[in-house]
Amino acid sequence: AQRVTQPEKLLSVFKGAPVELKCNYSYSGSPELFWYVQYSRQRLQLLLRHISRESIKGFTADLNKGETSFHLKKPFAQEEDSAMYYCALSIYNQGGKLIFGQGTELSVKP
């Protein structure tokens, strides 16, 4: 079955500390993975996708097919990073359907 798991509901760190939001997936095909972010009172928006291999707002994520993971990392957290983060898996043969994880709330304290 296709599934995305984010084991942490809440992650709290201090400003300047490294951050890693975990994401594991289950999918028999070739995965297309995304991180979406929802800041307070804003709509859900794309943060990054693995196919782009880019760094956005200092965040990076590497697809590890062996461990079926797509963890989101940032070396130095900022207060403005506080938000809800969702890992999502796109299902190719279902019109790009997204399967979301449960979400992780990141809280960066001053």
Partner 1 sequence: EAQVTQNPRYLITVTGKKLTVTCSQNMNHEYMSWYRQDPGLGLRQIYYSMNVEVTDKGDVPEGYKVSRKEKRNFPLILESPSPNQTSLYFCASSLSSEFSYNEQFFGPGTRLTVL
| Of 60, 69, 100, 105, the one binding partner 1 by CB under 8 A | 100
Beta strands in 1-110 (DSSP E): 3-5, 10-14, 19-21, 24-26, 32-38, 45-49, 60-61, 72-74, 83-91, 97-100, 104-109
Q: In whole angstroms, how far apart are CA 97 and each of 31, 51, 89, 100?
A: 12, 16, 8, 10
Residues 13-32, one symbol each (x = binds partner 1 by CB under 8 A, - = not), give -------------------x
Residues 43-72 that bind partner 1 (CB under 8 A): 43-46, 49, 51
Tell whether residue 95 is a contact of partner 1 (CB under 8 A): yes
Output 15 or 50, the one with its CB closest to partner 1: 50
Residue 72's closest CA among 1, 80, 16, 84? 84
Minimum distance, C-beta of residue 110 to partner 1, in the bound complex (Å): 27
Minimum distance, C-beta of residue 109 to partner 1, in the bound complex (Å): 23
Amino acid at 59: F
Sites of contact with partner 1 (CB under 8 A): 4, 6, 9, 32, 34, 36, 43-46, 49, 51, 86, 90-92, 95-103
